[in-house]
Structure 1
């Protein structure tokens, strides 16, 4: 399957490439960005390279992976990745200066709709640190419902899911 660019009213989501490594490194090593990502750990350059390679592979084999989110400039990432044996999890990150403008909802909504409609996935999952109330609110706005609380390295994780029913929510 070819990699897909997604567009919304304000955003363009493009599949990551090796050329995006410096952008991802700068973004994902920013403390405010990784606060609720990667259990607070700083990814190494090699881990970011692996993420890009994995994304390129899953775009080829499954039609999804990791996208860069841009307006006129880079503002974050959104993607799908496996969540244990449940299915695909939506995850996203925004630059601190782009938060509070609805971009995360818009980008995550585009990825979720693409996954459920274009890829015909049966469900999308989300896993959020209990303290990350902003992300919980985003997932709920996008039609995901809380179904479990599981232990995490830094505290409880809330699990959400949305089953395929069609209809855009952003």
Structure 2
């Protein structure tokens, strides 16, 4: 299966070990990690583990971590992917470089991943978990057609869980 996803403006390609430095720089940027990792800074070893886990997940399940780039650029715009949310199922997650904010890229990339999950992968639903204070991500998941189904405590405060069924 080809794991590259494309949209009108973006190319999403699975992360590889060659992407380590770019991913480390992206995910250690303060504005990027604010909600994604509850403010934690991932170590280089943790980035290596994420890339290795993603490669295994693509090989066995058809999903993992994609790097987002504009069609005509080699610059990293952000990331999107699917990962387990406790024992509930798979959740969509994404991050964007601040220079890419406000362009609709998060919605465009996340929509490609959700459609991949509900279409070719045949998942019955996709979940999302969003920090209560992350208004931009709430807007993204709502544009994806996801609906809230519960609130849970999180490290930075309440989190709302969303789902979109096939």
TM-score under structure 2 normalisation?
0.97
Once residues 118 and 5 of structure 1 are traced to their aligned partners in structure 2, the CA distance between those partners, rounded to angstroms, is 13
Instruction: Please list every run of at least 4 consecutive aligned residues from structure 1 whose deviation after the TM superposition is greater than 6 angstroms.
Output: none
Once residues 45 and 98 of structure 1 are traced to their aligned partners in structure 2, the CA distance between those partners, rounded to angstroms, is 24
Are the aligned partners of 1:4 and 1:14 in contact in 2 as well (CA < 8 Å)?
Answer: yes
- Name the counterpart of 1:141: 143
Q: How much has 1:7 moved relative to structure 2?
A: 0.2
Which structure is higher in strand share?
Answer: 2
- Name the counterpart of 2:133: 131
Once residues 39 and 2 of structure 2 are traced to their aligned partners in structure 1, the CA distance between those partners, rounded to angstroms, is 29
Q: How much has 1:61 moved relative to structure 2?
A: 0.3
Are the aligned partners of 1:3 and 1:15 in contact in 2 as well (CA < 8 Å)?
Answer: no
Q: How much has 1:38 moved relative to structure 2?
A: 1.0
- Name the counterpart of 2:45: 46
TM-score under structure 1 normalisation?
0.95
- C-alpha RMSD of the superposition: 0.7
Structure 1, unaligned runs of 5 or more? 165-170
- Name the counterpart of 1:58: 57
Q: How much has 1:3 moved relative to structure 2?
A: 5.3
Q: Give the number of aligned pairs.
A: 163
Structure 2, unaligned runs of 5 or more? none
Once residues 122 and 23 of structure 1 are traced to their aligned partners in structure 2, the CA distance between those partners, rounded to angstroms, is 33
